[in-house]
Amino acid sequence: MPPSAIEDRSSNLPAPLEESGLGSHASHRSAGSGCPEPVEGQRVGLTVLTTALAAVEELGSVPGVRLFCTGGQFRSENPDFVGPTAVAAFAGLHADIAFVGADSLIVGRGLYSADQGSAAILSAIGACASRRVAVLDHTKINAQGMFLGLPRERIDCVITDAGLSPEVRREMEADGLKVILAAVS
């Protein structure tokens, strides 16, 4: 999953976004652990800055979502934008919460990408956000990583699927990571 920075703002979250599952992660407040916690009855609109064409396609027509795409060099194999233009897009911005994906999360070390361009984007997103939530399927945890994009101390929370083994979950929690298992349908 290419990284996206999401900034929450008070307003109404459109029903299609809630149904997609993003609403449960977007309508949150901090609960001390750095991981988002639901705010009962509160609905939140989203401002999304992304490098990912899939996010643009998915969210582009959703009412109430302000969507910005970084631009830069387009990679058809991913499909997303990388390079200095994409990295610079994050430099003057602030996001309350960044939901990021990566090729690997190595417990105790951080989030890794398979290429330098993606690692630079991950680093730029991490630098502009108050909180960083890694969203990864369990097969990416402790998988091989090449380029460090976000060191462990900059990760506030990990959302993954129930395929995560209890042993790896304990290892992650012992490393200070808040782990949330998401239901996958």
pLDDT tens track, the chain, 185 positions: 444 444 433 233 333 333 333 332 322 222 333 444 444 444 457 788 888 888 888 888 888 888 888 888 899 888 889 999 999 988 888 888 888 999 999 999 999 999 999 999 999 999 999 999 999 999 999 999 899 999 999 999 999 999 999 999 999 999 999 999 988 77
Residue-range definition of the domain harbouring residue 154: 4-182
CATH code (residue 142):
3.40.50
Q: How many domains does the chain have?
A: 1
Give the closest residue to 49 by CA, choosing from 4, 82, 93, 17: 4
Give the closest residue to 134 by CA, choosing from 114, 109, 160: 160
Cβ neighbours of 41 (radius 10 Å): 6
> Which pair of structure tokens corresponds to residue 160?
């993954």
3-class DSSP assignment, residue 29: strand
pLDDT of residue 59: 86
> Which pair of structure tokens corresponds to residue 46?
């989203």
DSSP string, 110-165: EEEESSHHHHHHHHHHHHHEEEEEEE--GGGBT---SEEEEEGGG--EEEEETTS-
pLDDT of residue 19: 34
pLDDT of residue 44: 58
pLDDT of residue 46: 79
